[in-house]
Chains A and B, each alone.
Chain A
Amino acid sequence: MSVTAVRGGSGVEGIGSLLRRPPGWLLGVAVLALWIAAWAGLRGNDTLALPGLGRTGLHDWFTGLKGDLIDSRESNVLMQVTGVLADLLASIGGWLQELVAQPAFPRPVPQVGWLGVIAVAAWLSHAIAGWRITLLVVASFLSFGLLGLWEDSLDTLIVTFFAVGIALAIGLPLAVWMATSKTVTTLLTPVLDVLQTVPAFIYLLPLTLFFGIGLPAAVAATFLYALAPVVRIAAHGIRSVAASTLEATDSLGQTGRQRLLQVQLPMAKKTIIVGINQTVMAALSMATIAAFVDGPGLGQPVLRALSAQQVGTAFVAGFCIVIMAVMLDRTTTAASVRAETVARAGGRDVRRHRIVLAVSGAAALVLVYLSRTYLWAAEFPDTDLGSSVAAAVQSGADWVTSTFDVVTSGVKNQVTALLLNPLQDLLANSPWWLAAVAIAAFALVLGGVRGCLTAGVCLAGIYLTDLWNDSMVTLTMVLVATLLVMVLAVVLGVWMARRPSVDTVLRPVLDAGQTMPPFVYLIPALLLFGPTRFTAIVAAVIYAAPVAIKLVADGIKGVSPTTVEAATAAGSTPWQVITRVQLPMARGGLVLAANQGLLFVLSMTVIGGLVGAGALGYDSVLGFSQGEFFGKGIAAGAAIVFLGIMLDRVTRRAAERTGAGVH
Chain B
Amino acid sequence: MKRPIKRTPALAAAAVGALLVLSACGGGDIEQSGSDSGAGGDDSQAAECGDVNMAVNPWVGYQASAYVVGELAASEFGCTVEYRDLKEEVSWAGFSSGDVDVVIEDWGHPDLEKQYFAKSGDGSAEDFGPNGNQGVIGWYVPPWLAKEHPDITDWENLNQYAEDFATSESGGQGQFLGSDPSYVQFDEAIVKNLDLNFKVVFSGSEAASIAAFKKAEENKEWLIGYFYEPQWFMSEVPLVKVDLPPYDPGCQEPASAADCDYPVTELKKIVSTEWADSGSPAVEVVKNFEWTNEDQNAVAAMISSDGMAPEDAAMQWIEDNPDKVEGWMPS
Contact = CB atoms under 8 A, between A and B. Distances in A.
Interface of A: 51-53, 67, 70-71, 73, 99, 105-109, 111-112, 120, 123-124, 127-128, 204-205, 208-209, 212-214, 291-294, 300, 303-304, 306-310, 313, 339, 342-343, 346-347, 350, 353-354, 357-358, 361, 364-365, 368-369, 372-375, 378, 387, 402, 405-406, 412-413, 416-417, 421, 522-523, 526-527, 530-534, 608-614, 617-618, 621-622, 624-629
B209 A70 contact: no
A373 B28 contact: yes
Given A310-B307, A350-B3, A402-B218, A303 B22 contact: no
A612 B188 contact: no
A70 B122 contact: yes
Interface stretch (B12-20, B155-163, B288-296): B12-20
Contact of B19 (A120, A402, A530, A611): A120
B2 A625 contact: no
B208 A70 contact: no
A531 B204 contact: yes
16 contacts: A52-B202, A213-B100, A308-B232, A309-B233, A364-B15, A373-B29, A373-B30, A405-B215, A527-B211, A527-B215, A531-B212, A533-B168, A613-B204, A617-B204, A622-B181, A625-B89
A127 B10 CA distance: 11
Given A70-B115, A342-B5, A522 B207 contact: yes
B60 A361 contact: no
B38 A530 contact: no
A421 B169 CA distance: 9
B33 to A, nearest CB: 6
Contacts of A106: 31, 34-35, 38
Contact of A627 (B84, B115, B207): B115
A378 B30 contact: yes
A505 B92 CA distance: 48
B202 A107 contact: no
B194 interface: no
B181 A626 contact: yes
Q: Is the interface of B mostly helix, strand, loop or mixed?
A: helix
B320 interface: no
Contacts of B307: 310, 313, 387
Interface string B111-137: 110010000001000000000000000
B246 to A, nearest CB: 23
Interface in B206-258: 206-212, 214-215, 218-219, 232-233
B167 interface: yes
A612 B27 contact: no
Given A205-B89, A417-B168, A532-B168, A214 B304 contact: no
B70 interface: no
Given A350-B3, A624-B89, A611 B205 contact: yes
A618 B93 CA distance: 22
Nearest to B100: A213
B331 interface: no
A421 B8 CA distance: 59
Contact of B97 (A209, A310, A526, A627): A209
B75 interface: no
B87 A127 contact: no
A412 B304 CA distance: 30
B15 A303 contact: no
A612 B202 contact: yes
A214 B84 contact: yes
A342 B7 CA distance: 12
A610 B205 contact: yes
Interface of B: 1-5, 7-8, 11-12, 14-15, 18-19, 22-23, 26-31, 33-35, 37-38, 58-60, 63, 84-90, 92-94, 96-100, 109, 111-112, 115, 122, 167-169, 177-178, 180-182, 184-185, 188, 200-212, 214-215, 218-219, 232-233, 303-304, 307
Contacts of B109: 627
A361 B17 CA distance: 12
Q: Closest 8 interchain pairs by CB? A: A526-B211, A622-B181, A372-B27, A308-B304, A373-B27, A625-B182, A416-B168, A531-B203
A522 B207 CA distance: 9
Contacts of B89: 205, 624-627
Nearest to B59: A307
A386 to B, nearest CB: 11
B51 to A, nearest CB: 12
Contacts of B37: 108
Given A70-B93, A626-B89, A310 B205 contact: no
B89 to A, nearest CB: 5
A346 B1 CA distance: 5
B182 A626 contact: yes
Contacts of A205: 89-90, 93
Contacts of A609: 204
Contacts of B3: 347, 350
Identify which of B4, B59, B63, B233 gathers the most chain A CB atoms within 10 Å of its CB. B4
Contacts of A378: 30
Contact of B31 (A107, A213, A214, A622): A107
Q: Taking each of A53, A111, A123, A304, which has the highest tally of chain B beta carbons within 10 Å of its own beta carbon?
A: A53
A612 B177 CA distance: 9
B99 A214 contact: yes
Central interface residue in B19, B30, B93, B210, by most chain A CB within 10 Å:
B30
A375 B202 contact: no
B4 A350 contact: yes
A364 B22 CA distance: 12
Contacts of B167: 530, 532
B72 to A, nearest CB: 21
Given A373-B30, A527-B214, A357 B11 contact: yes
A23 to B, nearest CB: 38
A627 B111 contact: yes
Contacts of B18: 365
A604 to B, nearest CB: 13
Given A346-B1, A618-B202, A622-B181, A308 B214 contact: no
B188 A412 contact: no
Contact of A108 (B33, B84, B211): B33
B207 A111 contact: no
B196 to A, nearest CB: 15
Contact of A628 (B1, B4, B14, B111): B111
B168 A374 contact: no
